[in-house]
Structures are given as C-alpha cells and as structure tokens.
Chain A
Amino acid sequence: MQLRVRALETILTEKGYVDPAALDQIVENVETKIGPHIGARVVARAWVDPDFKRRLLEDASAAVNSLAGFDPVAAHLIAVENTPQTHNVVVCTLCSCYPWSVLGLPPVWYKSAPYRSRTVIDPKGVLAEFGVSLPAATDVRIWDSTAETRFLVVPMRPAGTEGWSEEALAALVTRDSMVGTGLPKPPEDESEAAR
C-alpha cells in the first residue's frame, strides 16, 4: 500500500491538485491537535458546571465552541447524558461517522464490521466485550449516526470525586466512556494524581 499511496500522491501533486505541505499539516493536526483529551475537557466541565452542562445538552456545538481556546470548531454535535436509567452508545452502521472534533479519529474497532453490525442488535453483548456490564434495570439507547449529526456521550461522574479539580476529573474520562463502550476510570486509579 505504501507504494500505491505514494504513487497517487505523486500524480496528484505533479498535476497540481494537492500541496504536500498541506498534506503534512493535515496529518499533524490529527496526530497532535485533536483527540479524546478535548472531549474529556468538555465532560469534566459539564460535571463541575451545571450551567455549562445545561447548554451542552441543549446545543453541544455552541457550548463546545464557546470554551476558551477550543479548536477545531465543532458542527452538528449532540451531547447525550448517561443516567442511572439510561446508558448511551454511539455507532455508525453505514460507515464510520464519529465526532472527530471532540474525540479525534476513530479507533479501528469503531470502524470494524463486528462493531458496526452488532451494536444495534446486541449492544449488551458488545459492551461485555469491552468489559462493561450494566445493572439489569438500565436501558440501553443506541445512537446510529446516519446523518451529519455527531454524538458525544456524557458519562456519569464517578462517586467519590467530590471536590476534585476539573483537570483531575478530565483524567478519569476515557475515550470509550464518551462513545458509550466504557465507563470513566474509578477514582482510586487516579487519586494519587489528584492529590
């Protein structure tokens, strides 16, 4: 593949369609600029700031874009909140739509046939493969990303984190917990860091 891709890049460059420096910049953006750390910051803010959380659930794009220094600009972002009654899971059965602006590029499993096929029909089985088991009384809501709207799960704040700083809380928020295939890290994992 390396050779085929290089050949196509050469052709497109020689014909004047692409600038290799722009390609370098695009790769740098996704390798260094965007990633789950952005979403973790959003979730931690929602945990400590009820007004921000309200705005996030009302219009996530506006709330996220209002955060100081937020880059890139999100579009059509929708935040869905986990509660003791409902656990949310995000999938794209038709391709691999994913909230790039807040989570970066998706992991291979999110783009894989097993995840895309089974999440809508057997979500609890899929969650078990991630080591997640929910209380029997918890409903599971699957969000299939069939348009340009993108979903960010706001997981429940772990118990035992009262008084934690936003930064310490953000360290508990995993990528998978914002897709719905995981839960935030328990506070004992990070309590050393928080002190």
Chain B
Amino acid sequence: MTNSIHDMGGMHGFGPVTPEPDEPVFHADWEGRVYALQRAMGATGLWTIDGGRASLENLPPLAYLAASYYKRWFLGLERRVVAYGLVGEDEIAAGRALRPGIRLNRKLTADDAKTMSFAHFDRPAPGPARFKAGDRVRTKNIHPATHTRLPRYARGKLGTVEALRGCHVYPDTAAIGAGESPQWLYNVVFAGRELWGEAADPAIKVSIEAFEPYLDPA
C-alpha cells in the first residue's frame, strides 16, 4: 500500500531522536535470528525485496507503530511464509511442522552464507533515458493502492535531475509480482521551500531517488 503509515517523511508528533550510546548490533538473540531468517528465506528467491517491503507496509498502522524494527520483520515474514503456502496457519499455531515442506529451488547453506553478497538491482536499459542531469522535472501526483517508492511529501513537486543512476528493477511492479520492468533511475533534488512551503529554511535541499515513471518534464 502506498499511503500507509510507513511513509513517514514530514510527519510531526513522534518526538525527539534518541541516540543510544554504545549500541549493540542486536538487543536480544531473537533479533539476530529474525535478521538471519529473513536473509535465508530471501535467498530462496520466492519473493523480491520490494515484495518484502510491501508486506511490512501492509501491516495495520497500529501494529506497525507498536512493533520494533525486527518485530516488524518477524510479522512480515510470518505473513509471507503463510501467504506463499510454505507454512500452514495450523503450523504457526502449533509451533512445529505438521507436514513436510514443499521443494524450493534454493536453500542457503552455511558455506553460501560465508560470502556476504549484496544483490544488484541494475539492469540493461530497454531504451534511452528521458531526462538528463540539469533537467527540470515535476513528480507525478500518484496514489497507487499498491507499493511505490515515491514518498508522499515529494509528489507533485518541482525538482531538478542531478544524476542518472542507470536502469534499475522497478519496485512498483516487482513488489506485486508483475515483473522487474527496469526503469531509469534518477537523483532528483528539491528546494526545501518547494516541499515545505515558504516558511522552510532556504538552506535545505532534499533529494530522492526517482524512477522515470514518477517524473514528468517541467
């Protein structure tokens, strides 16, 4: 979902940021296990990173806000393994497997896990880029009911293309199983006042990474 609670840029009311001195990587063992389960299940290739994000965004707003980061990951993963038919609701309730698993294409081994690889999302360009650095663009005013990476605060705004990033997997289609549909990706920068009005500090600029379908010429 797009206009859901995860899209937080510009909201008020959450209070101050509270940095924690000497913070550990994980605050409890289960956080590390959730992180690892997420990575290991991600390696099966059954869903995309965008599909994973979408499952978190679809959590009810109160559940999203009440959950810590890793609890959110856990709730998303639990939903996903059920939604993909990998695990039954009855098995979640029982806390153990009641049937053998289905066959997966890939299972991450301890040896595989020794190499930390981060996935690449760039793809060959299906066509030329529509915009170049320096072009003025206006972001579209879109509110899709499905996943998008155009934040609400940056919709319908006038900005400038600062850099081209190449063609990348398009989250809006990848998240809903509609294919990678690679799109040109741009860094688009906005004046603080364009986003937040005349009262905003003129010394502030904000940029987003914007896929070509988010942009119109201006």
Interface of A toward B, CB cutoff 8 Å: 1-2, 4-12, 14-19, 21-27, 29-31, 33-35, 71-76, 91, 93-96, 100-101, 104-105, 107-109, 111-118, 120-121, 123-124, 126, 129-130, 136, 138-149, 176, 181
B116 touches A72 (CB 8 A): yes
Range, interface on chain B: 35 or more
Most buried by A among B28, B81, B113, B196: B113
Given contacts A17-B81, A95-B56, list 9 more A-B pairs with CB under 8 A.
Answer: A35-B25, A73-B116, A75-B118, A94-B8, A109-B17, A114-B14, A117-B9, A124-B201, A140-B203
B210 touches A93 (CB 8 A): no
Q: How many A-B residue pairs have CB under 8 A?
A: 262
**Is B134's CB within 8 Å of the partner chain A?**
no
A17 touches B118 (CB 8 A): no
A4 touches B74 (CB 8 A): yes
B165 touches A149 (CB 8 A): yes
Give Cα distance in the complex from A123 to B205, angstroms. 10
Give Cα distance in the complex from A68 to B201, angstroms. 43
Residues of B within 8 A of A94 (CB): 6-9, 53, 149, 151
B56 touches A27 (CB 8 A): no
**Is B216's CB within 8 Å of the partner chain A?**
no
A139 touches B204 (CB 8 A): yes
Residues of A within 8 A of B165 (CB): 76, 147, 149
CB of B133 to closest CB in A, whole Å: 14
